[in-house]
Amino acid sequence: MLPDDTLANVLYVDLSKKHFRIDKRQDLFDKYIGGAGVAIQLLREECPEGIDPFDPENPIVFAVGPLTALFPLASKTVAMFKSPHTGNLGESHCGGRSAVAIRMAGYGAIVIKGASDIPLYLAIHKDQIHFRDASSLWGIGNSFTVGRIIRENEPEPGLRTIMRIGRAGEQLVSYSCVVTETYRHFGRLGLGAVFGSKKLKAVMVSGKRSLPVSDKKEYKKVYHEIYQEAVSSPVMKKYQDLGTAENVVPLNKFGGLPTKNLKEARFDGASEISGETFAEQYLGRRLACSHCPVACIHIAALREPYEKAYFYKTSMISYDYEPIYALCSMLGGSDAAAFLKLMDRIEALGLDVMSTGVVLAWATEAQERGVISEKETMGIKLGWGDYTAYMKAVRLIVEQPNKFYKALARGVDRAASLYGGDDYALAFGGNEMPGYHTGPGAHIGVLIGSRHSHLDNAGYSVDQKVLAKKQVSPEELAEALLSEERWRQILSSLVVCFFARGIYKPDAVSKTLRLAGFDIAPEDLLSIGEEIHKEKYRFKTREGFSLDKLRLPKRIFETLSPTGKLDEKFIRKTIEYVKEEMSRSPGRH
């Protein structure tokens, strides 16, 4: 990296002592680039082995990369922590203004440890760090309101990120998220609850600075090339037009859209919840993350009568493919307006929408089968597509008034361990399933993925592009998933959005990195990716993860996938091969 680049600065904050320091960690960035590569090193350094995720010593690590604020689309912040949801590696990526704000404040990474005695929020304005009393913000029912208050209290509009939690994070729901800029999230593995356990209501970061480049003339030229691709390349078009919601119709046609807790993989109501329907009837605005000309964020405008005659309320609600899957097809609901209202409430509470949808789907089936009754649900009759019931249930998941809702607040694995029904408890590696029943690739991908996310290695894409056309061996499938996941370590260390993976190919990565002072040949990138992937697995293994212990919910074998009936032996064999492969190559330690 370039010697005067502030990327090397790591801000360490101690919430217990209300103290901070800034260290130069060029060693980490030189070796691991940034983002996920640096974050896993900081996590390994800072997280004591075997600690409870709610222990004050559990660190929250945020990291950005050398291309952030230098080139378009390097707009993600990688968060790492020990996850209260899986008890293992927590990794979550978020856009909005977070990455550019952290880089412009003069940091490559931020590490937050300790726990405060009173609720507080951190205000990081370049090298001015303020511990602000957030006692008056604690307990506010709506995360939008918290964002608005901090927005009005702090300077630098347009140049800042405000990462905050809702009630779900305060109440330690193990899949609560951190919301930034109202519509983007550190979702999935419960970063919100780690914030909550530290009495940390929000982290706001702002800054503005110039960055060094190795060759100014070449920089302008290469920037222009990347920008042109971002705005004109066909690989970016789908994100611009309908957004990720575009997937609803093709996935349904393909027969891979999980429906009613995956009792089915096709949904009758798909056309009512399609990307086309939302665009035509509800799309109210499109937004972009900082330094991304694509603007994939789709916001629906929902106008509804409110309380009395001639009173109306218009809510602006973000939608994407995954929330539509989790709250519509998975719950057997096709009422788009009711979905938006439920989505709005989940955002206000600060829950991860995918896990929430899968938890509700499990509960609905469990009640249908008589495994649980209205005694547990406190009088709520959960039924497929009954959004009125779901609206009530999500509030109770956050407030946790009884043992049942306490269990739901820990995810389907916990709920099924207490009440039964693990055959249809759809979690993989402890994380609730994403919206793909496309074939074995999707499920294996999530099982072996280092953060148990469909984005780890895009197994759903292997199903659709390869397995739908020809048979492959377990070895070939394992190889395809592993090599994708290794490459994605590079993207998430650059913090380039995965949607831009078609633009940031090895040559482009090497070329842009050179301007940031990193001299890495395209062919060397892959081995760095492999090493980062191994480092994550080392952390996972240290914390008790084993590829031998993975639970496969029976349901995935009962419901036909587009590639046919799934074969457990094939899946186990593939996982076995992944295991061999992970233990074979020595890597650097």
Cβ distance to another protein smaller for residue 253 or 303: 303
Cβ distance to another protein smaller for residue 316 or 391: 316
Q: Which of 34, 37, 66, 147 binds another protein (CB under 8 A)?
A: 147
Task: Write the secondary structure of 166-202 as one string of H (helix), E (strand) and C (coil).
Answer: CHHHHCCCCCECEEECCCEEECCCCHHHHHHHCCEEE
Cβ distance to another protein smaller for residue 208 or 238: 208
For another protein, which stretch binds (CB under 8 A), given 144-152, 194-202, 366-374, 580-588?
144-152
CA dist 97 and 116 (Å) reads 26
Q: Which of 7, 42, 70, 115 binds another protein (CB under 8 A)?
A: 70
Cβ distance to another protein smaller for residue 279 or 396: 279
- Give, to the nearest 10 degrees, the angle between helix 336-349 and helix 143-153: 50
Is there a contact between 503 and 236 (Cβ–Cβ < 8 Å)?
yes
For another protein, which stretch binds (CB under 8 A), given 54-62, 142-150, 163-171, 463-471?
142-150
Q: Residues binding another protein: what is the number (CB under 8 A)?
A: 40
CA dist 445 and 458 (Å) reads 7
Match 């891979």 to its residue by tokens.
256
**CA Rg, the chain, in Å?**
23
How many other C-beta atoms lie within 10 A of the C-beta of residue 283? 18
For another protein, which stretch binds (CB under 8 A), given 281-289, 416-424, 503-511, 575-583?
281-289
Q: State the burial class of residue 215 (Cβ atoms within 10 Å of its Cβ: 0-12, 13-18, 19+).
A: exposed
For another protein, which stretch binds (CB under 8 A), given 86-94, 147-155, 275-283, 488-496?
147-155
Rule CB under 8 A: is residue 146 a binding residue for another protein? no
Rule CB under 8 A: is residue 290 a binding residue for another protein? yes
Q: Which of 289, 389, 495, 556 binds another protein (CB under 8 A)?
A: 289
Cβ distance to another protein smaller for residue 12 or 339: 339
Q: Kindly state the tokens that stand for 213.
A: 């480049």
**CB 504, min distance to another protein, A:** 17
Cβ distance to another protein smaller for residue 101 or 380: 101
Cβ distance to another protein smaller for residue 210 or 546: 210
Cβ distance to another protein smaller for residue 185 or 540: 185
Q: Which of 285, 369, 381, 465 binds another protein (CB under 8 A)?
A: 285
Rule CB under 8 A: is residue 370 a binding residue for another protein? no
In the sheet with 297-305, reading across from the earlier edge strand, the strands are 283-287, 297-305, 312-319
Alpha helices, DSSP H, located in 400-473: 403-408, 412-419, 440-448, 459-462
Amino acid at residue number 239 = Y
Angle at 88 between CA 200 and CA 109, to 5 degrees: 50
Cβ distance to another protein smaller for residue 292 or 467: 292
CA dist 257 to 274, 279, 331, 499, 559, Å? 12, 20, 12, 21, 11
CA dist 331 to 328, 334, 342, 385, Å? 5, 9, 12, 6
Rule CB under 8 A: is residue 100 a binding residue for another protein? yes
Rule CB under 8 A: is residue 425 a binding residue for another protein? no
Match 């909550």 to its residue by tokens.
196
Q: Which of residues 160-219 bind another protein (CB under 8 A)?
A: 181-183, 208-213, 216, 219
Rule CB under 8 A: is residue 72 a binding residue for another protein? yes
How many other C-beta atoms lie within 10 A of the C-beta of residue 258? 30
**CB 170, min distance to another protein, A:** 22
**CB 8, min distance to another protein, A:** 15
**229: which strand partners?**
none
Rule CB under 8 A: is residue 159 a binding residue for another protein? yes
Is there a contact between 520 and 73 (Cβ–Cβ < 8 Å)?
no
Separation of CA 237 from chain center: 22
Rule CB under 8 A: is residue 157 a binding residue for another protein? yes
Q: Which of 288, 418, 526, 552 binds another protein (CB under 8 A)?
A: 288
Q: Which of residues 221-240 bind another protein (CB under 8 A)?
A: 223, 227, 231
Rule CB under 8 A: is residue 517 a binding residue for another protein? no
Letters for 293-322 (x = contact with another protein by CB under 8 A, - = none) are xxx---x----------------x------
Is there a contact between 225 and 504 (Cβ–Cβ < 8 Å)?
no
**Which residues contact another protein (rule: CB under 8 A)?**
69-70, 72, 100, 104, 144, 147-148, 151, 157-159, 181-183, 208-213, 216, 219-220, 223, 227, 231, 285-295, 299, 316
